[in-house]
Amino acid sequence: MGRYIDDILQPGEKVLYSSNLHWIVYWKGILGWIAAAVLFVASGQTLNPTLTAAGLIGAGVVAVVALYFTILAWFRRWTTETDVTTLRVVHKEGFITRRTFEISIDKVASVSVDQSIPGRILNYGNVIIENMGDDEQKIELIASPLAFRSHITAR
């Protein structure tokens, strides 16, 4: 399966910048794996066989949930593309059901970046692109949002 942007490029159009979702989308999975590891280690620290079994079962259940969230985040990250070309901004989400938007670079009225404190530290945030028709499109949890904005606004 090729990239969406490669399938829709117009003659003479070039990709200037590509971004994707930040790795922070894995946060639920990461917390789950940490909790499963803590339960697993804690189950080995007790001499009570009932508590050991309960800890191991709990660790297994939490690991399955963590695996689910990890796969879900990976799939979301894999099926999301955000690109700036010489002519437009293109964003695609989804695999079977697809949500896309394209905004001509000439029609972009403003680009805003929202970053929380962790977003500034880890370099992720939300980008809001407003076009001339007062419509706005929001791209959430994008990696390097300031670089993405710069590639849209620099001409």
Q: The whole model's pTM is what?
A: 0.85
- Rounded Cα distance, 43 and 149, in Å: 49
Q: What's the pLDDT score for residue 100?
A: 93
Which residue is associated with the tokens 């940490």?
Answer: 34
% of the chain at pLDDT higher than 90:
87
Predicted local confidence at residue 46, as pLDDT = 86
Residue with tokens 């789950």, as numbered in its chain: 32
CA 51 – CA 6 distance, rounded (Å): 55
Q: What type of residue sits at position 102?
A: E
Residues 6 or more apart in contact with residue 32 via CB below 8 angstroms: 62, 63, 65, 66, 67, 69, 70
| Per-residue pLDDT band at 1 (split at 50, 70, 90) | low
Residue 32 φ then ψ, to 5°: -65, -45
Is the pLDDT at 14 greater than 80? The verdict is yes
Q: How confident is the model at residue 154 (pLDDT cuts 50, 70, 90)?
A: confident
pLDDT of 75 above 90:
yes
Which positions ≥6 away from 88 have C-beta within 8 Å?
A: 13, 102, 103, 104, 105
How large is the average pLDDT for residues 118-128?
97
